[in-house]
Amino acid sequence: MAGGPNNDGVDQARVRNVVLVGPRASGKTALTEAVLLENGAITRLGRVEDGSTVSDHTEVEKRLGHSVHLAVATTEVTDAEVTGGARVRLTVLDTPGMPDFVGELRAGLRAADAALFVISATDGVDAGTRILWRECAAVGMPRAVVVTHLDQPRADFATALADLQSAFGAGVQPLYLPRGDGIVALLSQTLRTGSAGARTVTALDASDSAATADARANLVEAVITESEDEGLLERYLEGEEVTFETIVADLEKAVARGVFHPVVPVSPLDGSGTAELLELVCRAFPSPAAGATPSAYGTNGGTRPALDPSPDAPLVAEVVKTTSDAYVGRISVVRVFAGTLRPDSTVHVSGHLAQFSGRDEDAVWHADHDEDERSGAISTMLGAGLTTVGEARAGDIVAVAHLAHAETGDTISDAAQPVVVEPWDFPHPLLPVAIRARSSIDEDKLVKGLARLQAENPSAMVLVDPETHQLVLWTMGDQQLELLLDGLRTRAGIDVDIEPVKVAVHETVRAIAKGTGRHVKQSGGHGQFAICHIVVEPLGVGEGFEFVDEVVGGSVPRQFIPSVEKGVRAQLDKGVTGYPMVDVRVRLVDGKSHSVDSSDAAFQTAGALALREAAAAAGVQLLEPVDEVEIVVGDDFVGAVLSDLASRRGRVRGTESAGSEGLTKVLAEVPALELVRYTTALRSLGHGSGSFTRTPLRYAAVPVHVQDRLTGAVAASD
């Protein structure tokens, strides 16, 4: 067993956990590769295009040419110039930029103590990244910006910087400027050229100093503005000289406080800027001891004291990702927030939110599991590579084998002092598809396959719809759906078919009407005889079903009255146009029986027939579920969202500020029939800035054209 990094003598204050976030294809995976090469963790720079990177190590990522999973790479920063001589252990969390995989992004944010926003100079900041920046700002997460793709013909650093400053606001200032052959360090006024192991640093000549003077002045002033020495800015503006050391110290503090955000130009493909970025991470980003920790609760509720991020405290860790390996079995990627996790020790695993309907009050708190388990081997990760280590201490991110019941979002704690941490903000999957096993063999394997899918993808959800009885897979979008089905096929050998999702439409009747059910078969053998007369009446929405016995004189014998009701109920479940019938009163007013041929079954049949006839006479009105929808979208796209809602028969109740600059909240009532694929529609309407929640509100009568479509559909499928 290697003398693992966790007892490798690296001081916890020198641990750095950094998540890379940013738009699709901005260069996060390439940057991870450059950082690993710079640190000597790899000897050859992998390329995304040929599937040879450390992060995009799964078959599907190599095939698609982009990340879909959170990837973790732990390495030691070896360059003493970069670390100032200390030993620093850096864990990079590389996240997918595609919106469908936001669950992986959220897991990465949870495990990290600081974020690097990776922005391509040619593609800029998308709406989703703007929102993410604000979310990080709201929790005070330290963050800096890396600008890539500067080697591209259309790229211009000044334009990219202006875009960043308008998108991210105050405190965004370049620490370095790109220059053809290297980068210029503004504070030290030096030019840095070359790459890992062959770097030269030379002082700027007079003309370069003059050319960068404004940028340097803006940087210095921005840093001093954030200085904890309140009088410093005034003194500086009055002409007092501020030393390089003071500026650097204030800069590092302001970054760690999350109020100042240096911009570093990096070219991941040739390594330029990587060492400078590492220097910023090592010196200015916080250690886990300084980072935020989640709130903790007792496993039966009740708050617990704030977590103590020291290795000697009781163990509290969280599963941020769950995968499985053909040899090792289940692997839990764990961030330790307090205490020390050891291999082969008994820990307590507390579940997370088990299920939801979009309404928090329906959230079930760790209902599914809450038990002790024995941990297996502990390893640091380098993409798919695992290095066994002796322990994991507060601040470490490691892979733990054999926690058979642990799922993403679960808490791992000291078995003697079990706790559960507050869950992070799981994205709500809102794109449903109905799935069905292709064969009975697949059927048997499906439950197990879906359980694993669920444990590994908390941003997806599998539910059996209580009304339509369909098995519904809820995902974040089509790409995630494709990935999950691909996983079922390739990893679990299960083929499923996709069906259109049914919305739980109901029937009711429009008017009061009579109906007769006549079930008479008396031609030889045991006859059947049952006649019943009913009156059907509409009830209010949500009033359910009422059966009224108004039989007099025994026209329907007492023992067969429940049979009529049973038959009526069976027909209600089926409906008469293919949807369950609700909110009706059925009055059994009369009937006829035969002393020999009448039976429970005969009167059930007659009851069903009577309802069908009465409903046809009364006229069937379909009722559809209407959801309350709350949409948050960039201000520029509100108009498009509103007119689209109108085309979906939506009723807008109002718009208001979403409480975050540049975002508007739209409140509306929209038929569920029109929301099935709203996730994808909103993504293009809002250019990536849109998100929504939906909550079942009520049932309402569908308009004629929709009813024709629905009954036409049923007729077509019969």
Ligand X SMILES: Nc1nc2c(ncn2[C@@H]2O[C@H](COP(=O)(O)OP(=O)(O)OP(=O)(O)O)[C@@H](O)[C@H]2O)c(=O)[nH]1
Footprint of ligand X (CB under 6 A): 24-30, 47-49, 66-67, 96-98, 118, 148-149, 151-152, 267-269
Long-range Cβ pairs for the range 642-649 (8 Å, 24+): 642/666, 644/681, 644/685, 645/670, 648/674, 648/675, 648/678, 649/674, 649/703, 649/706
> Which CB atom, from 151 or from 208, has the smaller least distance to ligand X?
151
Helix (H, G, I), strand (E, B) or coil at 283: helix
Q: How far is the CB of 338 from Mg ion (least distance, A)?
A: 31
Closer Cβ to Mg ion, 99 or 607, answer by number? 99
Report the partner that residue 330 touches, choosing among ligand X, Mg ion, none (CB closer than 5 to 8 A by kind). Answer: none
Ranges of beta strands (E only) in 101-218 are 114-120, 143-148, 172-174, 176-179, 182-185, 190-193, 200-203
- Alpha-carbon distance of 109 to 19, in angstroms, equals 6
Residue whose entry in the numeric block shows the structure tokens 């500086």: 236
Give the whole-angstrom CA distance, residue 516 versus residue 611: 8
CB 128 within 8 Å of CB 34: no
Q: How far is the CB of 108 from ligand X (least distance, A)?
A: 11
Interaction partner, residue 628 (ligand X, Mg ion, none; CB < 5-8 Å by kind): none
**In angstroms, what is the minimal distance from the CB of 141 to Mg ion?**
20
User: Which does residue 710 touch among ligand X, Mg ion, none (CB within 5 to 8 A, set by kind)?
Assistant: none
The nearest distance, CB 56 to ligand X, in angstroms, is 7
Q: Which residue has the tokens 């995976």?
A: 29
**String of contacts with Mg ion for each residue 42-81, x by CB under 5 A:** -------------------------x--------------
Please return the burial class of 71, using the count of CB atoms within 10 Å of its CB with bins 0-12, 13-18 and 19+. Answer: buried
Q: Cβ 580 to ligand X, closest distance in Å? A: 44
Residue 269 binding target from ligand X, Mg ion, none, CB below 5 to 8 Å by type = ligand X
Task: Compare residues 29 and 74 and give the one whose CB is closer to Mg ion.
Answer: 29
Q: Which does 149 bind (CB under 5 to 8 A by kind): Mg ion, ligand X, none?
A: ligand X
**Which is nearer to Mg ion, 58 or 691 (by Cβ)?**
58
**Continuous H helices in 457-560:** 478-492
- CA–CA separation, 258 vs 358, rounded Å? 32
Query: Which residues, including other chains, have CB under 8 Å from residue 366's CB and lie 6 or more apart?
Result: 299, 350, 351, 352, 353, 354, 410, 420
Q: How far is the CB of 32 from ligand X (least distance, A)?
A: 8
Dihedral of the alpha carbons of 587, 593, 595, 597, in degrees to the nearest 10: -110
Residue with Cβ nearer ligand X (67 or 598): 67
Size of the site for Mg ion (CB under 5 A): 3
Let me know: does 606 contact 566? Beta carbons within 8 Å: no
Task: Work out what residue 30 binds among Mg ion, ligand X, none; the CB cut-off runs from 5 to 8 Å by kind.
Answer: ligand X
Q: Are 380 and 389 in contact (CB under 8 A)?
A: yes
The residue nearest Mg ion at its CB is 67
513: which 2 tokens? 């009407």
Considering the complex, state which of residue 152 and residue 346 has its C-beta at the smaller distance from ligand X.
152
Smallest separation, CB 706 to Mg ion (Å): 43
Q: How far is the CB of 114 from ligand X (least distance, A)?
A: 18
**Antiparallel, parallel or unpaired: β 261-265 and 172-174:** parallel
CA–CA separation, 465 vs 230, rounded Å? 60
Q: How far is the CB of 68 from Mg ion (least distance, A)?
A: 9
CB nearer to Mg ion: pick between 25 and 461: 25
Q: Which does 629 bind (CB under 5 to 8 A by kind): ligand X, Mg ion, none?
A: none
- Outline where 539-596 has alpha helix (H): 561-574
The CA distance from 631 to 616, in Å, is 40
DSSP 185-242: ETTTTEEEES-TT--EEEEPPHHHHHHHHHHHHHHHHHHHHT-SSTTHHHHHHTT---
* By the rule CB under 5 A, 39 interacts with Mg ion: no
27, interface contact from ligand X, Mg ion, none, CB < 5-8 Å by kind: ligand X
Cβ proximity to Mg ion: between 28 and 192 the closer is 28
* Long-range contacts of residues 368-371, Cβ cutoff 8 Å, at least 24 apart: 369/405, 369/407, 369/410, 370/299, 370/418, 371/405
Q: Tokens for 25, please give them.
A: 């294809």
Q: For ligand X, which is the closer residue by CB, 26 or 227?
A: 26
List the single partner that 24 binds among ligand X, Mg ion, none, CB under 5 to 8 Å by kind.
ligand X
Shortest distance (Å) from residue 147 CB to Mg ion: 17
Q: If binding is defined by CB under 5 A, does position 29 make contact with Mg ion?
A: yes
Q: Name the minimum Å distance from CB 47 to ligand X.
A: 6
Kindly give, in sequence order, each residue whose CB lies less than 8 Å from that of residue 674, ignoring residues fewer than 6 positions away. Answer: 648, 649, 650
Least spacing, CB of residue 21 vs Mg ion, in Å? 11
Q: How far apart are CA 321 and CA 547, in angstroms?
A: 53
Hey, what amino acid is at 656? Answer: E
Instruction: Give yes or no for residue 95 binding Mg ion (CB under 5 A).
Output: no
Q: Pick the closer one to ligand X by CB: 66 or 366.
A: 66
- Name the binder of 16 from ligand X, Mg ion, none, CB < 5-8 A by kind: none
Taking the complex as a whole, the smallest distance from the CB of residue 30 to ligand X amounts, in Å, to 4
- Cα 272-147-153 angle, rounded to 5 deg: 80
Tell me the closest approach of the beta carbon of residue 269 to ligand X, in angstroms: 5
Pairing mode, strands 584-593 and 545-549 = parallel
**Residue 127, binding choice from Mg ion, ligand X, none, Cβ under 5 to 8 Å by partner class:** none
Contact between 155 and 116 (Cβ < 8 Å): no
> Of residues 122-181, which lie at the interface with Mg ion (CB under 5 A)?
none
Work out how close the CB of 660 gets to ligand X at its nearest, in angstroms, rounded to a whole number.
Answer: 24
Structure tokens, 42 = 């790899």
Of 378, 393, 396, 401, the residue nearest 2 (C-alpha): 378
Q: Which is nearer to ligand X, 26 or 58 (CB)?
A: 26
Residue number, nearest CB to ligand X: 97
Would you call 304 exposed, middle or buried from its count of C-beta atoms within 10 A (0-12, 13-18, 19+)? middle
Q: Is 32 in the site for Mg ion (CB under 5 A)?
A: no
The distance of closest approach from Cβ of residue 27 to Mg ion in the complex, given in angstroms and rounded to an integer, is 8
Residue ranges in contact with Mg ion by CB under 5 A: 28-29, 67
